[in-house]
Structure 1
Amino acid sequence: MDILLQAREFERWLGEAALPLWRRKGYDAVGGGFVETIDLRGEPTRANRRSRVQPRQVYCFAEAGRRGWSGDWRTVAEGGLRYFDRVYRQPNGFYGALADADGKIIDAGFDMYNQAFALLAFAFLGEVVPERKSEMAERSNGMRLSLEAHCKHPIAGFEEDNPPRLPLCSNPHMHLFEACLASEVVEGFDRVAWANLADEIAHLAMEHFVDSETGALREFFDHDWAPFPGEKGRVVEPGHQFEWAWLLLRWAERRGKSQAIVTARRLFEIGETHGICPKRDVAIMTLLDDFSVADPVARLWPQTEWLKAAIRFAALSEGAARARYLASASRAAAALERFLEAPVRGLWRDKQRADGIFVDEPAPASSFYHILCAIYELWDCLKRM
């Protein structure tokens, strides 16, 4: 099977090239923390550092350690969290948004997206470093309670701040959903609270984020969770159709919710049918709600989400349906492979223009979270078949 060969090559690329390179060049041993980008010569840049990169990289190295990678994952996982706390953590306990390469905060503003990744890091670090599990559980629970006090939405989910900023967004909820699913299975964490919040977000997605007529998931909403007025409210991202499909499949399997599988299947169909460029065979960035193309640029991360959703559908299917999803997973893997063809093995390209030419720019660290998760998900699902 092509997908098995692809999975083996991804595993070699990750263990032999990407993890060693990002451990060596992607962590600032002098100033602390993870760098924002590595240039295509393999050298770290001094680009400003988005706070989300820190917990995402903590996740990557903690999960690599849990999976048996023999490199020094713990130094950078724990060091990255210390840097995240020291540079970005605000007096209210939330994390700011942006700092420069010297660790000076530039934007201390609140974004739920960044808090969601902090929660993901707490879960994975707590899982892999047993002596820190109780600390991570306490911090995780404290942040959840703070979010509920600070920006709980009166209907369901969360507002972007208090007072709320509009439009409200589905994307931060997607990553909070992911953090909930991770947290509810960590021994010592408040499993009931995390499971309840995961259920709330799943129902919010199926009842409000997903359009009842088309089955597409929108990005932007007014304060009543209705589509935001104008073109902004019409935005549909193929990568997020796949990513939400993957998350809803995981939730549906745990809860025995067949309707969530139906919703996820429709999300996948929309992403695959309308969100894949027929000439380049890559997932593009943006559609409108009539499924017309709004932005034909392809970025790396939607390819990983296509792969994750396709391979999980394959694992949950049999016969012709399994073959169909395996073929889609192989296409997604081939698309991802093209983005990983960089001058230095272990780096990647981030953007492909509509003409098929990749933008010549440094590799963003933020993509590693997507890539590593997709590779591990691919192997996990193949083992189930």
Structure 2
Amino acid sequence: MDIDLQARELASWLTEAALPLWRQKGFDAAGGGFVESIDLSGEPTRANRRSRVQPRQVYCFAEAGRRGWSGDWRSVAEGGLVYFDRVYRQPSGFYGALADADGRIIDASFDLYNQAFALLSFAYLAEVFPERKAEMIGRSDELRGKLVAHCKHPVAGFEEDNPARLPLCSNPHMHLFEACLASEAVEGFDRLAWSTLADEIAHLAMDRFMDAETGALREFFDRDWAPFPGEKGRIVEPGHQFEWAWLFLRWAERRGNRQAIVGARRLFEIGEAHGICAKRDVAVMTLLDDFSVADPVARLWPQTEWLKAAIRFAALAEGEERRRYLASASRAAAALKRFLETPLRGLWRDKQLADGSFVEEPAPASSFYHILCAIYELEDCLERM
């Protein structure tokens, strides 16, 4: 398939269908905040709202605005942050986990994952609202300082709470790494602090998250950053192999770090060789550390991470190697497109079963962050070639 044509089709879907639909139906004009999901008829649900959805959607509309989308992105980008603060922010300064559709907090517990997305949203809001940049710098520094004081791991990275909950997880570190890379690039942010933290997470991932023998990146760990006992410690997610590979490439390009490129290439190889179902040509959810398939369900988000990693590898490669990565990116784009084929354009399916059928359920708002980022990354990388 023609990757340039696929990129144009995805961009059209985003700007003409998804952004307008999620602006109109995905933001609760009456009560404030972003909805958790939209059903396949195009109506918002009253499902409980995970706090991570709010800053993820703030990111989506802020980034769409930065890139020239002509719709009303400003009011929802700012309104989403107001709601996020009002509903989820705790006296500790951290953000809770879950609220109902009426904005009543249900679960105020700490999760590093949710704080990482708060930091990501601050960085993107600082870029599109210059008049609020000083505020975003202060909020970003404050939250980073609270994380260091509250749950810094004695060796590297962060624990899940204080006292620490087990298992420790690589996934929130991945999103914190992403927030660091975004923050260090914003003029006026504390570049030294964010770069130092990004470097720490990168080396933690290469030294502890990635298996020394196979190169695979694990999900769950004990307090010493050794694989968690039992099957849980053996879990390897293809989507995260791709997502970490993409982040490593971004970090390595800024730092000139060859080790990270080698590691990223191995992560991509694992994801592509073992995590793609040969019959359906989609990235599946879970492997074990021997690369056997543990969960054959394919969710939407790993397809976006496959696309992001493949196209960035292509942009950094030349000749036959570039053609190989472009072919992989085209497969990933085709896989993603199948999840976007819904009766109402601008929605998506989230889960494909092993038999190729899709689960009939509302489209989760949390997927928009993955989709939008993948489409913009595809455009940017093609422009570099």
TM range (shorter): over 0.9
Aligned to 1:315: 315
d(CA) in 1 for partners of 2:246, 2:316: 12
d(CA) in 1 for partners of 2:265, 2:74: 38
What is the SS of the residue equivalent to 2:277?
Answer: coil
1:166 deviates by 0.3
**Can you list the C-alpha shifts for 1:223-268, whole angstroms capped at 9, x where unaligned?**
0000000000000000000000000000000000011000000000
What is the SS of the residue equivalent to 1:33?
Answer: coil
1:17 deviates by 0.2
**What letter is aligned with 1:285?**
M
**Can you list the C-alpha shifts for 1:17-68, whole angstroms capped at 9, x where unaligned?**
0000000000000000000000000000000000000000000000000000
Aligned to 2:333: 333
Aligned to 1:165: 165
d(CA) in 2 for partners of 1:130, 1:230: 49
1:188 deviates by 1.1
Say whether residues 1:181 and 2:181 are aligned partners: yes
What is the SS of the residue equivalent to 1:69?
Answer: coil
Say whether residues 1:251 and 2:255 are aligned partners: no
What is the SS of the residue equivalent to 2:294?
Answer: strand
Q: Give 5+ residue unaligned stretches, structure 1.
A: none
**What letter is aligned with 1:82?**
V
d(CA) in 2 for partners of 1:272, 1:141: 38
**What letter is aligned with 2:166?**
L
Runs of 4+ with >4 A deviation: none
Say whether residues 1:222 and 2:237 are aligned partners: no
Aligned to 1:77: 77
d(CA) in 2 for partners of 1:99, 1:47: 9
Q: How does 1:249-288 map to 2 (within 5 A)?
A: 249-288=249-288
Say whether residues 1:370 and 2:370 are aligned partners: yes
Normalization by structure 2: what TM-score? 1.00
**What letter is aligned with 1:16?**
E
**Can you list the C-alpha shifts for 1:264-317, whole angstroms capped at 9, x where unaligned?**
000000000000000000000000000000000000000000000000000000
d(CA) in 2 for partners of 1:318, 1:128: 34
Q: How does 1:11-30 map to 2 (within 5 A)?
A: 11-30=11-30
Aligned to 1:324: 324
Identity of counterpart residues, as a percentage?
84
Aligned to 2:111: 111
d(CA) in 2 for partners of 1:103, 1:189: 31
Q: Give 5+ residue unaligned stretches, structure 2.
A: none
d(CA) in 1 for partners of 2:300, 2:163: 34
Say whether residues 1:53 and 2:68 are aligned partners: no
d(CA) in 2 for partners of 1:132, 1:342: 38
What is the SS of the residue equivalent to 1:11?
Answer: helix
What is the SS of the residue equivalent to 2:62?
Answer: helix
**What value does the CA root-mean-square deviation take over the aligned residues?**
0.4
What is the SS of the residue equivalent to 1:377?
Answer: helix
Aligned to 1:359: 359
d(CA) in 2 for partners of 1:358, 1:191: 44
d(CA) in 1 for partners of 2:172, 2:328: 27
d(CA) in 1 for partners of 2:14, 2:283: 22
1:103 deviates by 0.1
d(CA) in 2 for partners of 1:173, 1:220: 12
**What letter is aligned with 2:243?**
E
Q: How does 1:122-133 map to 2 (within 5 A)?
A: 122-133=122-133
Aligned to 2:213: 213
**Can you list the C-alpha shifts for 1:321-375, whole angstroms capped at 9, x where unaligned?**
0000000000000000000001110000000000000000000000000000000
Aligned to 2:62: 62
d(CA) in 2 for partners of 1:64, 1:181: 19
d(CA) in 2 for partners of 1:28, 1:138: 28
d(CA) in 2 for partners of 1:186, 1:135: 13
What is the SS of the residue equivalent to 2:333?
Answer: helix
**What letter is aligned with 1:40?**
L
**What letter is aligned with 1:117?**
F
Q: How many residues were matched structurally? A: 385
What is the SS of the residue equivalent to 2:248?
Answer: helix
d(CA) in 2 for partners of 1:277, 1:29: 41
d(CA) in 2 for partners of 1:136, 1:343: 39
d(CA) in 2 for partners of 1:341, 1:134: 42
**What letter is aligned with 2:47?**
A
1:129 deviates by 0.6
**What letter is aligned with 1:364?**
P
What is the SS of the residue equivalent to 2:106?
Answer: strand
What is the SS of the residue equivalent to 2:213?
Answer: coil
What is the SS of the residue equivalent to 1:106?
Answer: strand
1:10 deviates by 0.5
